[in-house]
Structures are given as C-alpha cells and as structure tokens.
Amino acid sequence: MKNQRKPSFTALLPILIFLALTFSFGIALGSSKVVDALVFFMIAAFIAIFMNKERTTMAKIETFARGAANENTVIMIMIFLLAGAFAKVARDGGAVDSVVNLFLTYIPDFMLVPGLFFVACLVALSLGTSVGTVTAMAPVAVGLAEATGIPVALVVGATLGGAAFGDNMSVISDTTIAATRLCGVEMRDKFRVNFLIVLPAGIITMIAFAVMTMGSDYTFVAGNFNLLQVLPFAVVLVAALLGANVFYVLLSGILLAGGIGMYFNAFEHEFGQLVGVLTTAHAGMMGMAKISIIVLIVGGIIGLIKYNGGIDWIVQKLEKKASDPKTGLLSIIGLTVLVTIFTANSTVAIVTAAPIAMETTKKFGIDPRRTAAYLDMFATSTMANVPWGGMMLAAASTATASMTSGELIAVDIIKYSTYSHLVMVSALICLFIGFPKLKARKTVDVSTDEEIAV
C-alpha cells in the first residue's frame, strides 16, 4: 500500500496495551475471566483507530474494516458457526455421549489423552486446517473430560497439539503451501526435513500425556453406547481423512447428528423434533457469537498495525541480528514468532517473513528446505500459544459450547499445549546440532509474482 508509513514501534501499541490490560487485571483480580477479553480488544481497537493523526478518522476506520473483513476472517467465522451448531446438536442428540462411552470401553484410561492427540493429528493432516480440526474434535475431547474428571484444558490442549501437527505437516495446508512456494522448495523435501524434527516431539508428547493421566485419581464408569449414534463422528473422521472440505465435513456431521437424534427422540420441542434440531443448532451458533466478534476486531486491529508500519518495524530490527548460518536461522525464527504474535495468522506471518527469510538464507548459505520447515514449524507452533489467534480462540469457544457448564478461556489451554512447546525445543536443538543432514538438491523456480492465498 503506497501510503503506508515507515516502520514504527508505536504501531504495535494496541496489542501491547491489550496484553498489559489482560495480564494486569488477571493478576489483580486473581482470574482472567472476571473482565471479558472482548472489552480489552475493544479498547485496543479504539487506540489503534485514534493513532496516526495524519489520517482522518474515517480513513482509519475503513482500514480497520478492510482488515476485519478479509476472506480468511469470514471463512473462519463461517467455520465457527458450523462448529457451534455441530457441537450442540451432537451433544444434545446423544452422539457425544456414545463416542465417549465407546472410547472409555475399549481404550485404557492412561491412553485416552494420547489417543485423542493422535486422532487429532490424523484429522489435521487430512483437513489441512487447525481451526477445522479443533472445531470437529473439541466436542469429543470435552465429553471425555467430563466423563473422567480429566481437566478440560488438558484434553483440549491435546487436541490443539494434534491440530498444530497436522497444520504444519499437511500437504494441503495453506502454511505448507506458502512456505514451500515462497522458499522455492519441493513439498516432499520440506516434509522430510519437517518430519524428522517434529517426530521426537510427537512421541514425547504422547508419552507425556500418558504419564499425566497414568495412576491418577481420575475415575470413570463407561456407560452404554449406540453405534448408530457414533455414526456422525465416524463420518466426520472418515470425511476428514479423505480430505473433504471442512464445510462439508461439519455440515454432514450436523445433518447426521440431527437426523439420528430425531430418530431417538432426543430433540423434544412443542413444535416437533425438526424444530428442536433447528433451535439446538441456532443455540450452538449463538454460542459462537462472541468469538466471531473478537475475530473481526482482531482482524481490524492487525490491519491498522500493518498499515502504520508495526510489522515492518519487527522485520527491520530482526533483519540486522544475523551474522552466520545459525544466527541467521535464529533471526528467521524470531521474525516468524513475532510476526505470528502480532498478526495472529500463521499464513500471513509466513508470507510476511518469507521474503526477508530468503534474503538471510542466501546471504548465509542456509538450505532453503530448512528455512521452509522452520518458517512453518514456528508459525504453527506459535499460533497454538497466541490467546487471540484463530486456533486458540476456536479451541476455547468450541470447548465452551460443548461443556455442560462453565467456560474455558484460551489462556487456560496454553500450559497444556505440550506438543507446540516440544516442537520449538526440538527445532532449536536440531538447529544447533545441524540435524538433519541434507544432501544438495535443486530448488523450485517460483515466480515472486505468484499470488499466495492468505
């Protein structure tokens, strides 16, 4: 955008003030739930609009609106609404209870959480979207937690980890496509490098989840289940593994859960079962209203931050820190993490960071396959720890919609985002020991003018 300002640290103030308000009120009041995050986001939004006195208020509001209404935000909100409907219809229709009891009947208690993580990995690999995976899997995760006494945040954290794994490794993920195209490498080459680095993290994650629940006081009695009521989740899982579009996956789940629930007379209503299904779906969608508003506001704030030069400031500062291949890769990691935090979008972060990352790659002789892998790993892993990011918001909101009572906030999940933490540790260790060793391979000739959808 030709009218953008020069790199500016002050452009980052809206997000910094949001963080300061969230943590200070959380510490002072003993809980982050007393004052809703939506209030702090609104304060940050108005601060962003009031900044940059060189532009008219209406011009800044228009920039805010363009940031809020980009295609990724609208798609995410549509997924949220379908996920809310699916979670509510599946729970009230008996599908969640049957799936949970099936798990409890045949899977050892200490393998419930590792098993959930593994299934989420498979779903995310097939869907190529972390948000779609979290919204599809959260109802089952919450059901398991409520049946066993395992903390909801723990099972949702396991689901989130699996979603991050798949989003990073899937060949149809937008982050994978962006990283490989912008770094000029083959997908299979990036996959091999990536897989060797994240595999230890995945194995240790499953062991850690097993240890967390092994020998615990969590008790449960497996109830009855009906295989017909399991069908909606079975279809969702199979459709996801076959690579179906996430909209079709969730819609098929809603229709099946609603239809089977009607068969079992689960949706009692004075005007009949069909109206009961529709009102239940509506209630589920309304449960996603707050998260949808937050996503719009965050998108607007990020739009103003980018316009005012906040992201360019981060890029400029980190670009100067490299002096050799290892510090060069560290600067790429730092750039990716910071841009992901301030854009709350892993794909946007990769597209923003990749041009600078490739300059560093060429300057210090870093293998571009390694650059592509590190861009993707740290963007997706960081997103699993950003409370205002789509992945975390989807996890918290879908889990809350699936709970019989109470609320789960994004901050509660972070300490159980075990996989994403271990991936970062594994990646840094591999960086310093030079693993994996790579043979020379010709890179892909990619036009810099080719558009990458973000």
More confident of the two residues 57 and 33? 57
56-60, 134-138, 188-192, 264-268 — which one is most confidently predicted on average?
Answer: 56-60
CB atoms within 10 A of CB 197: 23
What percent of the chain shows pLDDT beyond 90? 31
Residues 14 and 89 in one domain: no
Distances (CA, A) of 398 to 138, 193, 250: 6, 33, 13
User: Is residue 319 pLDDT above 50, yes or no?
Assistant: yes
Of 225, 255, 290, the residue that ends a domain is 290
Query: 421 vs 234, which has greater pLDDT?
Result: 421
Tell the residue number behind the tokens 């923003």, with chain if given: 352
Same-domain pairing of 228 and 343: no
Q: What is the pLDDT of residue 156?
A: 95
Note whether 157 and 275 are same-domain residues: yes
Per-residue pLDDT band at 25 (split at 50, 70, 90) = confident
Shared-domain flag, residues 197 and 245 = yes
Which tens digits make up the pLDDT trace of 155-209? Answer: 999 999 999 998 898 876 888 888 888 898 888 889 899 999 999 999 999 999 9
> Tell me: the pLDDT tens digits for 355-394?
778 888 888 889 999 999 999 999 999 999 998 888 898 8
Q: How many domains does the chain have?
A: 2
Q: Please tell me whether residues 251 and 309 are part of one structural domain.
A: no
Q: Do 105 and 207 share a domain, yes or no?
A: yes
- Each residue's pLDDT tens digit, 101-118: 787 777 777 888 998 998
In this structure, the answer to whether residues 286 and 299 fall within a common structural domain is: no
Residue 429, in any domain of the structure:
yes
Q: Are 300 and 280 in a shared domain?
A: no
Which residues make Cβ contacts (< 8 Å) with residue 422, sequence separation at least 6?
Answer: 200, 201, 204, 205, 208
**Is the model's pLDDT at 430 over the cut of 60?**
yes
Q: How far is it, in rounded angstroms, from Cα 206 to Cα 117?
A: 7
Domain that holds residue 26: 10-70+291-388+423-433
- State the pLDDT confidence band at 441, using cuts at 50, 70 and 90: low
Average pLDDT over residues 18-36: 76
Q: Which of 362, 375, 354, 368 is nearest to 448 (CA)?
A: 354
pLDDT of 452 above 60: no
- The pLDDT value recorded for residue 222 is 61
Give the residue with greater pLDDT, 351 vs 189.
189
- Residue 406 forms part of a structural domain: no
Please give the Cα distance from 381 to 163 (Å, whole number): 10
Q: Which of 219, 80, 211 is nearest to 138 (CA)?
A: 80
* Residue 318 sits in the same domain as residue 189: no
* Residues 59 and 14 placed together within one structural domain of the fold: yes
Report yes or no on 3 lying in a domain. Answer: no
Same domain (yes/no): 145, 281: yes
Same domain, 225 and 116: yes
Q: Report the predicted TM-score, pTM, of the whole model to 2 decimal places.
A: 0.74
More confident residue, 219 or 245: 245
First to last CA, the chain: 17
Phi and psi at 404, nearest 5°, equal -70, -30
